Amino acid sequence: MVRIAINGFGRTGRVAFRAAWEQKIALDLVAINDPAGAHTDALLLEFDSNYGPFRAKVESNEGTMRVDGKPIVVFRERDWTKLSWADVGAEIVLECEILPKQRKDEAPFGEYPGTYGPRRKNPIVQVKAITMRRNALYQSSFVGHADNLLLSGIVRSTTIMKTVKLASPKVRAVHVPASGRCRFICYLSIEKIIEGEPKNAAMAAFAADPFLKYVVVVDEDVNVLNDEEVLHAIATRVRADTDTFMVTYAKGSPLDPASYDPAGGSHLVTKMGIDATRKSNYPEEIKVPGSDDIKLEDYFPGWR
């Protein structure tokens, strides 16, 4: 995990920290430098007048702030050249200024959908100084490729699980597969209590993650880590006219190549929920009597 420090914990510094913390970005904040000090910084982080209460426990004592128990060293040095970032484990420190009311064209860049994103006007960050320890390590990811995609899928699954449980208490598994770029498709495995519950679960998933476009809800016997099993459930347990629903003009990703206006960076998309669970009149499925009792190690020595 990349260790970072923030020099200046004003509005921009706090927003950057909140975004990294709440989205569970793989960054380890080890230190803050801010003249206000640990107590004031903790208070402003916890009770932000613009962005609302911070969803974590924030504590402080002299020189340290703790967020959900994680200690963060807080310096109060006005001369950034005197800061000992290396002592707290930071690899690289960027001294930057965001220029007010200035924007320039940025992009096209390769993006996670596997396409190039549209050009946009974005703020200008002026780098004033870069400080780093000897042989500093900089960890990055290859956007649009597996290392970039899989990290996002893991993070999204936990948030979706918490929200879907409000609509369907017996959620068994959540998976945001690589086949959907770890953003656009979600598989939910639930132990269904009553009919209609799968659609509620799908709507909860859409609410939890606006980038999702397709949510497939399956029974608990389906392995959501296996695309083939999910597609089998869709093929054999879905009546398209009653078991699917669509939401048009819904909020999605502005990088979605299938949005209503991808060249303009539109965030409007169509979403689809699919109930791929067994219905009350579903026929008995075939099975081989005694197959569950077969142990392959009895026939193949060393089998695991």
Q: What are phi and psi of 73, to 5 degrees?
A: -70, 135
Please give the Cα distance from 18 to 22 (Å, whole number): 6
**pLDDT higher than 80, residue 172:** yes
> What residues are paired with 126 via a beta bridge?
97
- Residues 41-59 have pLDDT tens digits of 999 999 988 778 888 899 9
pLDDT of res. 3 = 76
Q: What is the mean pLDDT of the chain?
A: 90
Nearest partner of 189 among 170, 210, 162, judged by Cα: 170
Q: Report the range of poorest mean pLDDT among 73-77, 95-99, 136-140, 284-288.
A: 136-140
242 band by pLDDT with thresholds 50, 70 and 90: very high
25 band by pLDDT with thresholds 50, 70 and 90: confident
Please give the Cα distance from 206 to 163 (Å, whole number): 10
Mean pLDDT of 267-286: 95
pLDDT of res. 40 = 94
196 band by pLDDT with thresholds 50, 70 and 90: very high
**pLDDT higher than 80, residue 27:** no
**pLDDT higher than 90, residue 246:** yes
Q: Which residue matches tokens 């998309």? A: 269
pLDDT of res. 29 = 85
Query: What DSSP element (H or E) covers 122?
Result: strand 120-132
Please give the Cα distance from 144 to 115 (Å, whole number): 8
pLDDT of res. 111 = 92
In degrees, to the nearest 5, what angle opens at C-alpha 186 toward C-alphas 180 and 192? 155
**84 vs 39: which has the higher pLDDT:** 39
Please give the Cα distance from 219 to 189 (Å, whole number): 5
In degrees, to the nearest 5, what angle opens at C-alpha 210 toward C-alphas 207 and 214? 90
CB neighbours of residue 5 within 10 Å: 22
Q: Residues 6 or more apart from 122 whose CB is under 8 A from it?
A: 103, 104, 106
Please give the Cα distance from 215 to 198 (Å, whole number): 10
- Within the chain, what is the greatest distance between any pair of CA atoms? 77
Please give the Cα distance from 155 to 144 (Å, whole number): 16
Domains present along the chain, CATH in parentheses: 2-132 (3.40.50.720), 151-276 (3.40.1670.10)
Nearest partner of 205 among 160, 272, 271, judged by Cα: 160
**pLDDT higher than 90, residue 4:** no
Please give the Cα distance from 234 to 217 (Å, whole number): 9
- Residues 107-153 have pLDDT tens digits of 889 999 999 988 889 899 999 888 777 888 777 778 888 888 887 78
**75 vs 79: which has the higher pLDDT:** 75
pLDDT of res. 93 = 77
Mean pLDDT of 180-191: 96
Please give the Cα distance from 60 to 72 (Å, whole number): 9
pLDDT of res. 62 = 84
Please give the Cα distance from 231 to 281 (Å, whole number): 20
pLDDT of res. 164 = 96
pLDDT of res. 82 = 82
**216 vs 48: which has the higher pLDDT:** 216
**pLDDT higher than 90, residue 270:** yes
**pLDDT higher than 80, residue 279:** yes
Strands 52-53 and 47-48: antiparallel
Q: Residues 6 or more apart from 279 whose CB is under 8 A from it?
A: 195, 237, 239
